[in-house]
Chains A and B, each alone.
Chain A
Amino acid sequence: EAAVTQSPRNKVAVTGGKVTLSCNQTNNHNNMYWYRQDTGHGLRLIHYSYGAGSTEKGDIPDGYKASRPSQENFSLILELATPSQTSVYFCASGDDWGGAEQYFGPGTRLTVL
C-alpha cells in the first residue's frame, strides 16, 4: 500500500532557528510536494519535485528551501524560522501525469516561538 511518512510529527522551534522537515515515500513516485495548511487557506503548495535532484517553487516558496536527494526522500528547510511559519505541513507524492492522485503523509505540526 502507498505510504508517505513524515518526521518529526511535532516540532517547536525558536525564531531564527533552522528547521528541517523530512518526508519519505515508498510509492516510487517521481513527484513529491510540500504543502502548508492554515485555517481558511486550505492547502498551499510550497515546493515540489519531479525527481531526485530537482526542486521547483510552488505558490508560496518565500522563506523555504527544499531538497530531493533521492527518489524516496524530500525535505523542507526553514533556514531562519519565523512565527508566521507556524502551521501544519504536509508532504505528498504522486504520479507524473496531469491530475494524478496525490498521497499525503500524516503532517507535521510546527510551532515557531
Chain B
Amino acid sequence: SQLAEENSWALSVHEGESVTVNCSYKTSITALQWYRQKSGKGPAQLILIRSNEREKRNGRLRATLDTSSQSSSLSITATRCEDTAVYFCATDESGSWQLIFGSGTQLTVMP
C-alpha cells in the first residue's frame, strides 16, 4: 500500500484563484517533499519540509506539515496557466534514502 497519497485525483481552477492539494502519509518521516511534473518532463522538487517544521514557503507556494495527523498540504496562490501539472507528495521512512511517491493530483489552471 502507498506510504504517501494525495487526496484528489484532479483539480481545476481559473487563473488567479488559489488551490490546495492535500496529502496523507502512513509512517514516521524525516521530511516530506512536494514535486511538480509538467507534461513530458520529469518531476522537479518544489518544497521540502522537514518533520520538525510546520510550514515552508517558496514564492507563491506554501506547504504545511502536521505530523500528528500525518498530513500535508500544498497551497498555490495567484495560479497561472503554467502551474498546470501533476503534483506529487513524497515521503521517506525515517532514515531511508528511498522516497515513496503518491499517485499525484492533476491540476489544471484555466484562462
Q: Does B29 contact A (CB under 8 A)?
A: yes
Tell me the B12-33 residues at the A interface (CB within 8 Å): 29-33
Instruction: Given A43-B43, A104-B43, A107-B41, answer yes or no on A97-B103 (Cβ-Cβ < 8 Å).
Output: no
Closest Cβ of chain B: how far from A10's Cβ, in Å?
11
Q: Which of A63-102 contact B (CB under 8 A)?
A: 90, 92, 94, 96-102
Contacts between the two chains (Cβ within 8 Å), count: 60
Pick the residue among B32, B44, B98 that contacts A48 (CB under 8 A). B98
Contacts of B97 in A (CB 8 A): 31, 48, 50, 94, 96-98, 100
- B9 nearest CB neighbor, chain A only: A40
Q: What interface size band does chain B fall in?
A: 20 to 34
B41→A101 contact, CB < 8 A: no
Task: Determine how close the nearest CB of chain A comes to the CB of B90; give it in whole angstroms.
Answer: 8
Are A42 and B45 closer than 8 Å at their CB atoms? Answer: no
Q: Which of these, B43, B94, B101, contacts A98 with CB under 8 Å? A: B94
Chain B residues positioned under 8 Å from A101 (CB to CB)? 33, 45, 48
Specify the main secondary structure of chain B where it touches its partner: loop
B74-99 at interface with A (beta carbon < 8 Å): 88, 91-92, 94-99
Residues of B within 8 A of A102 (CB): 43, 45, 99
Contact of A99 among B2, B29, B44 (CB under 8 A): B29
Bound Cα distance A111, B67 (Å): 41
- Contacting pair A42 B104 (CB below 8 A): yes
Is A105 positioned at the interface, with any CB of B under 8 Å from its CB?
yes
- Distance in Å from the Cβ of A61 to the closest Cβ of chain B? 13
Q: Is the CB of B42 within 8 A of A105?
A: yes
Residues of B within 8 A of A (CB): 2, 29-33, 40-45, 48, 50, 88, 91-92, 94-99, 101-104
> With contacts A42-B88, A50-B97, A99-B99 known, what are 8 further pairs, Cβ within 8 A?
A35-B101, A42-B103, A58-B98, A92-B42, A99-B29, A99-B92, A101-B45, A101-B48
